[in-house]
Structures are given as structure tokens and as C-alpha cells.
Structure 1
């Protein structure tokens, strides 16, 4: 049992360290661009906030779970238990919304020009900053107001509990519980639907573009894919990874909640899958960013030389 717990702890630790370092490297890249006076493109701005949200997810959830996996008691009840949970939920919701925004923006960006889409392409970049700002503010309002409202109305011991060493929140008011669940699930389901639609649209557009290129009989045409195509493929991989990881983790959590099975292996697996996207996404974003990739390899060389 001890060896199994150690293996789980090392798996969590590897994912935590790798995920946090990769997100920090990518975030440092975007911040360095801001400090040097470079005006971020809309896709860079979205990716920057996605990286911030994923970094917060890894710090608020994965670090505590890694500590717990080695048998170290970490949580206490009350606000000290609830605060990391609220931070994680805000970051997770922002990660969902920014990933959706990135996929929809990239779909509109590569879509064929038409009279109806011309105006949309011109206006959409102007509203990216406002959309990200509203995403942070609204998710903070939903995921922080309701839990702390319940703390003020009831006792903190009645709404926070520790299950298998991990913190969770329980609302005593059914109306508040239903309203909170609706405000959390509806945006996530809507964003997931938009991401599936945008993924299908990107695949269709890329396939049609490939067919058009194949019909061009010219020796001057390069067979290398354009930067726009590579960026679109990276966004497509990012969205597909998100849908796969979050669907799988949701299935595990729903299974555990419905059957109420105290299986530590299932819980650890679902927790590991739930943070796979924040750990993997920076590498996908680096794949079309040579500067960030070089920073990552430099960091690896530093660790190897130590």
C-alpha cells in the first residue's frame, strides 16, 4: 500500500512540477512581450489569460493533492478549506471560457471572407479584452459569492467538509444550490458545445483549403503549411485535448457521485485527468511559438546541468 501511495504521489508530483514550469515559462514569454512594448495579438491575449488560469489551477488544486497523496494532512475546515476551492473553480471556469473564446476566434479568423463575416472579423478583435475581463469578473462573482454567502448565512462547518483528504463545499439552501449549479453548468455546457462546433468548422475549412491547394499546379508553391494553418492546427489540438480530458474527468466524477463508491484509485485517476489539460496546454501553445519553445528547452538544459 505504501509503495502504491508513493507511486501515486510521484505521478502527481511529476505532473505538478512539469505543468507549473511549462505554464510559468509561457506566461513569462507573454509578459516579456508586454514589457518590451509589443502589442499582443488577440490570440496571444487569449492564450496569456488561458495560461494564467491554468497556472492558478495547478497551484490551487494539484499542489494540495500532491501533498495529500504523500499522506500529509493539508486542509482544515472553514474558510481555509473553502478559499483554495473557490480559487480553483474560478480558474477552471476561466480556462473553459478562454479556450472556447480562442477556438471561436480562430474559426472566424480562418473562415472564408463574405459580406456577413467581414463585419464580424473586423469587430471581434475589438471585444476580446472585454470578453476576457467579463469572464474573470463573472466567474469570480459566481464561484466566490455563493460559497461565502452560505458561510455568512450558516456555519462554515456546515458547508465545508473534507472528503478523502480533499476539500468540498455543501450548500444547505436548496434554492441556492440549484441556482449555483445552473450558473456553473450552463456556461460550461454552452462553451463545450461551441468548442465542438468550432472544431468541426476548423477541420472542414482546413480540409477544403488542402483540396484547393492540391489543384494548384505551380512549382513556386511551397508544400510547407502556412503559419496560419499551423496556428489553427494547434488551436484544434488544444480544443480536442480540452474536450477529451474534461469529458473523461466529468464521467469519472459523475460515476463516483452517482454510485458513491469510496474507491481511492478512481478518485486519484479522476483528479489526475482533471488537471491533464492545464498541464498539457502550454506545450500545445508552444508548438507554434518558437520563442517560448526555446525558453522551455533552455530551462530543461539548466535543470540537466544541475
Structure 2
């Protein structure tokens, strides 16, 4: 178990460093270098993933709170609430990224093309509503989590070393699960629909380019690279999210948490926020060019 905990530390450290790099890069781009419409979404996603990793277990914010002598109950409520909000924001912003990329690459004759000229305005409004929705949606969790006590396990479910979920009415528990599942199913459905749409557009474009004998132009297309990156992120997100959701939902319904299962869930939960920035860094030509310039200077 200790070796697996080291893996979690490595995964979390790598994810935080990569996301911080992206956060600073996109902030720098947004503040002064003619940002692309997607840069604002990517910047938000990096920030969300940093907080998601920090609150994804006992090891990060817990240590910070202990150094500040913060009470366990407040510590549990704060970390649990922030983590739930960030998980919701992660799926919402990933969905938004998929939708807006579909709009961006839509041909001028398509129905979605009419949204292109107001993309930035729609994006800012969408991000505002997404943050507002998730901050309020997860607020009920504050009342059902707190510091672990010596009460019987029937009255609480230990979810970390210091925190536990308190008993809740079956109706409330079912209602929370239904609402969360409905949100996630809808957003994943939107992601899969826009992903299928983008795959069709790429296939048609590739077929047309082959016909025109200009396949080299297609390979060099920044739009195609960005679309392929987002398609990869969506597929990876859907797989990881539902594995995580299945584990957490089963645990809540059965009112039990196995320590090994909890450790596996932490690994799965941090997989997407840790891998996402690495995929984005390797596929963004601007970052690659900056790294090439820095490499040439040091050599």
C-alpha cells in the first residue's frame, strides 16, 4: 500500500506541475498575445484541475490545514466541498471545450457556424453559468460530511483518514444520486455527440483533401490537431469519469468504503487532471515552439 501511495504522490505532483505550467502559459497568452477563443477555457480547466488534485485525498490540503491549526470538521467540509465543485466543473468545462471546438471547425454552411462570430461572448457567459451552477449544486454536501468520530460505523462512513459521511435519508441520498447522474449523463451525451460530429467533419475533410491531392495541408492544419486533442481528452475523460462515478456511487448506496477501493478511486480520479495538461502541452504548437526556442538558447 505504501508503494501505491508513492505512485499517488508522483501522479499528483506531475499533474500539479503540468497544470501550473499551462495555467501560467495561458494566462500570459490571454493577457497580451491575441489569445484563441479556446485559451480561456483551457486556462480555466488547468486551474480547476490543480484544485481537484489538491483536494483529491488526505495528502495535500490536509497538510496545509494542519499547519494552520484548522479544525478537522472545517477541514473536511472545505476539502470535500471544493473537490465536488471541481469534479463538476471538470466535466462541465470539458464538455464546453468539446462543444466550442465543434463550433470552431464547422463549415460556413453548417447550422453551428452562425455562433462563430460571437464565440467569445457565449464562452464568457457559459463559464459564468457553469461556475454558478456547480458552486450551488454541491452546497448540500457540506451538511453530510465532517470530521471522523468514534461513533459506530453504522452512523458514519469513513471516506478518508480524518473525514466521514454522515447518515442521510434514503430519499435524499437517492435524490442526490439521481441529480448527479442526470447531470453527468447529459454532459457526457453532449460530449459524445459533438465528438461524433467532429469525427465526421474530419473524415469528410480528409476525404476531400485526398481527392484534391493535398493531404500535406490537412496534416499541418492547427484546427485538425486541436480537434484530435479534444477528441482524445473526451474519450479519456468519459472512461475515467465513469469508473470513478461507479466506484463512488456503489460505495454510497451500499454505505461502505473499502480502503483498497478508495485508493484505486483516488488514482482514477486524478488520472484525467494529471494526463490532460501533458496531452495539451504536446499538441499545442505555440508551447512546442517556445520549448524549441529555449532549447536552442541553452545549446
Instruction: Give TM-score, length-normalised by structure 2.
Output: 0.81
1:102-141: per-residue Cα shift (whole Å, max 9, x none)? Answer: 0011112212222633323333432101111111121111
Who is 1:279 aligned against? Answer: 274
1:92 aligns with 2:87: yes
CA distance in 2, matches of 1:288, 1:269: 29
Matching residue within 245, 248, 254 for 1:253: 248
Q: Show structure 1 runs of 5+ residues with no match.
A: 69-74, 300-306
Of 196, 206, 209, 1:210 maps to 206
Change (3 A) 1:268 1:294: farther
TM-score by length of 1: 0.80
CA distance in 2, matches of 1:92, 1:212: 40
In 1, Cα distance between the equivalents of 2:176 and 2:97? 26
Q: Which of 120, 125, 129 is the matching residue for 2:120?
A: 125
Deviation at 1:168, TM superposition (A): 4.3
Match of 2:158, SS state, is: strand
2:19 corresponds to 1:33:
no
What is the Cα deviation at residue 181 of structure 1? Answer: 3.4
Q: Deviations over 1:12-54 (max 9, x none)?
A: 111011000000000010122234x234322111111111111
- Cα RMSD between the aligned structures? 3.5
**Distance verdict in 2 for CA 1:254–1:140, change over 3 Å:** closer
Question: Cα deviation per residue 1:174-220 (whole Å; 9 max; x = unaligned)?
Answer: 5554444344332222111111111111111111111111101369x
Q: Between Structure 1 and Structure 2, how many residues are aligned? A: 286
1:28-107 equivalence runs, <5 A: 28-35=24-31, 37-62=32-57, 64=59, 78-107=73-102
Give the aligned partner of residue 297 of structure 2: none
Instruction: Tell me what 1:235 maps to.
Output: 230
Q: Secondary structure at the match of 1:211?
A: helix
1:147 equivalent to 2:170? Answer: no
Farther-moved stretch of structure 1 (289-298 vs 44-53)? 289-298
- Check conservation: 1:230, 1:288, Cα contact below 8 A: yes
Contact 2:148–2:163 under 8 Å retained in 1: no
